[in-house]
Chains A and B, each alone.
Chain A
Amino acid sequence: MLFRYLFILLILLPIKVFALIEVDITRGNLNPLPVAVSPLAIDKNSKDNFKKILKKENLGSEISKIVENNLKQSGLFNPLDKDAFLQEPDIANLKPRFEDWNLIKAQALVTGKVTFVDEKLRVEFRLWDVLAGKEMMALAFTTVPSNWRRVGHIITDKVYERLTGEKGYFDTRIIYISEKGPKTNRIKRLAIMDQDGFNNKFLTLGNELVLTPRFSPTNQMVTYLSYFRNLPRVYLLDIETGMQEVVGDFPGMTFAPRFSPDGKKIIMSFAKDGNSDIYTMNLENRIVERISNHPSIDTSPSYSPDGKYITFNSDRSGYQQIYVMKNNGKNVKRISFGSGLYGTPVWSPRGDLIAFTKLHKGKFYIGVMRTDGTGERLLTENFYQEAPSWSPNGRVLIFYRETKTNAKGEGFSAKLWSIDLTGYNEKMVETETDASDPSWSSLLSN
Chain B
Amino acid sequence: MKISLNWIKDYVDLDGIDIKELWYRFTMSAAEVEDVEYAGRDIQNVVVGKVLSVVPHPESKKLKITQVDSGDGILQIVCGAPNVTEGILVPLAKIGGSVKKLSKLGKVKLVGVESFGMLCSAQELGISDDHSGLLILEGDYTPGTDIKSIIDIDDVIIEIDNKSLTNRPDLWGHYGIAREIAAIYGKELKPMQLDSLEGSENRSKVDIAVEDTEKCLRYSGIKLDGAAGLKTSINMKVRLFYCGMRPISPLVDLTNYLMLEMGQPMHAFDSRQVESGIVVRSTREPEIFRTLDGSERNLPEDILLICNKERPVAIAGIMGGENSEVLEDTTSILLESATFDGPSIRKGSTKIGLRTEASARYEKCLDPNITVIAIQRFVKLLKDMNSGITFASALSDVYCRKLEPVDITITKPYIDRYIGNNLPQEKMVEILRSLEFKVEVEGDTFEIKVPTFRATKDITMKVDIIEEITRIYGYDNIAPQTLNIELKPLEYNEERLTDHKIKELLSERFGASEVMSYIWYDNAFNARMGIETNGQVKVMNPQAQDANTLRESMVPGMLGFAEKNEKVYDDFSLFEIGSVFSAANPTEKCEQHKNLCVLLGSKIKSEDELFYDLKGIMTFIAKTLKNVIPEFSACSGEYNWIHPMKSVDISFDGKLMGYIAAVHPSIRKNIGRKVNAAVLEINRDVLHAINTEVIKYRDLSKFPEVKLDYSFLVDSGIMFDKLLEDIRGFKSPLLNSFDFVTSYTGKGLPEGKKSMTFRFVIGSSEKTLASDEINGFAKSIIDYMGELGYMLR
Task: Judge: A and B partners, yes or no.
Answer: no
Which residues of B are at the interface with A, using a C-beta cutoff of 8 A? none
